[in-house]
Structure 1
Amino acid sequence: MARKAGGARSRPRGGRGGRTGITYQVLGALLLAGLIAAAVWWWQQHHWIPPRDAFPVQGVEIGEADGPVNWGSIKAIGADFAYLDASASAFARDPAFVGNLQGAREAGLQVGALHRYDPCQPADRQAANFVVTVPGDQTLLPAAIELDMLADKCPVTVNEAKVESELMTFINQVETHTGKALILKISPAFEARYAIAAKLDRNIWLVRDRWQPDYAGRPWTLWTANSSLSSEVVAGDLRWVVMQP
């Protein structure tokens, strides 16, 4: 008898539909494993600090953007010192500096002040801004100057020689005020552009999360080891800094 036209054919068990289901299960498991690994990595990155046996002296950098700070809690989580954002460019001042200075001292931390340098502004105006913001107190740690902004977008051309000469003007005036040699906090971008670590004979402060930085070509004194340390003691993340033993 002839086979009836259009008759349904049964699909073999374990065919394409079964393989597709297994594929989705595998992909789902891989996705879940990736999410778990990412969560673990995030937690480790945001809670990691260098071991105390290797770096006994550790601290923080704090500014107005970090919000209200419980300095007793900062001390309790292991900070020995604090660098406070004080001034920036020729006119800007951190409104939290005075309160943070008092709070950090009352908590028993050593304290230093930091200026964010702007290569587009005259060095003497920036130095004056720092001097009127930060007291000439010999108990303070050496002041730090953050070198991160490049001169590429200045309204008036500022070449590399000008950047270096203006920096020396700023350094000389601030060191006269504080009585101590400045620390140069140099970003990777600034060092790549100006190679300033080899030109200015000052202690340096480098920045690199988790791994020790070597982009300056010489040993560092301070290292921002975790720029986003999670802690319940401040609203945002802490910039955690260690000192070379």
Structure 2
Amino acid sequence: MAKRSGARSGGNWRLRLAALVLLAALVGAVALWWHLRGWTPPREAFPDQGAEVGTMEGEVDWKALKAVGADFVYLDASASAFARDPAFVKNLEDARAAKLQVGAVHLYDPCQPAEKQAANFVTVIPRDARMLPAAVDLDRLADDCPVPVSDAAVESELTTFLNQIENHTGKAAILKLSRRFEARYHVAAALDRNLWLTGERVEPDYAGRPWTLWTANTRLITDASAEPLRWVVVQP
């Protein structure tokens, strides 16, 4: 009987310890969430800061965005071969009226031909020297494409797409690389373009070379939008 009691005590101790570890993890997660609600990188280290805005942010008060410290905004404009943000033109006009510099983002789809995606992009994004360099959002992998696409073909088509949109804009594009896309295709080493990386509060290093833009907080709460903002800084 004494042995069984000791076994039960040991089991209870392990359960209590596991519960304490879980509680500590939950408290830490909540603390991080609360911290990120209002955190941006220090201005003395990163003077140029802004946001990425698309349909997920909903309606944005551009003057309020400027007031909270944004110098620029990247607008999600087009995706794949046919999709477009219907609010892009108005957002562009309103953001410029608020004295924000503006760039455009295309969500790249490795399942669609480069020429069709480039045609979609140039239909949406104006040929305008005032625009910041276009950003190409690279996150989707080719694993689920209806027609198989090799890794080599992904790089080749992406290169074609970049050349075509850069001929339209007159500026080298920025590669907005997700961690998983870079881990699979290693385009940071293959394509000589500036990089835009993501890392919640921690400067990202997964591309193997320095970044130009950094999405430092995807959950910033401001008066500019009812939804959290994706906050971006420029490498000084």
Q: With structure 2 as the length reference, what TM-score do the two structures score?
A: 0.88
2:220 maps to which of 229, 232, 243: 229
- Partners of 1:95 and 1:235 in 2: CA distance: 19
The equivalent residue for 1:131 is 122
The equivalent residue for 2:136 is 145
SS at 1:152 equivalent: helix
SS at 1:44 equivalent: helix
CA RMSD of the aligned region, Å? 1.9
SS at 2:37 equivalent: helix
Report the structure, 1 or 2, having the larger helix content. 2
- Partners of 1:103 and 1:212 in 2: CA distance: 31
Deviation, 1:64, is: 2.1
The equivalent residue for 1:47 is 38
| 1:26-68 Cα distance to aligned partner (Å, 9 max, x none) | 99xx799887655433210221110000000000000122111
Q: Does 1:62 align with 2:53?
A: yes
| 1:145-203 Cα distance to aligned partner (Å, 9 max, x none) | 00000001101110111001100110011000000000000000000000110000000
Please identify the structure whose Cα radius of gyration is greater: 1
Q: Does 1:213 align with 2:204?
A: yes
The aligned length equals 219
**Does the CA contact (< 8 Å) of 2:151 and 2:185 recur in 1?**
yes
- Partners of 1:47 and 1:41 in 2: CA distance: 11
Q: With structure 1 as the length reference, what TM-score do the two structures score?
A: 0.85
**Does the CA contact (< 8 Å) of 1:116 and 1:145 recur in 2?**
yes
Percent identity of paired positions between Structure 1 and Structure 2: 65
SS at 1:61 equivalent: strand
- Unpaired stretches in structure 1, ≥5 consecutive residues: 1-25
- Partners of 1:152 and 1:33 in 2: CA distance: 37
Deviation, 1:131, is: 0.2
- Partners of 1:35 and 1:217 in 2: CA distance: 32
Change (3 A) 1:38 1:223: closer
- Partners of 2:146 and 2:55 in 1: CA distance: 28
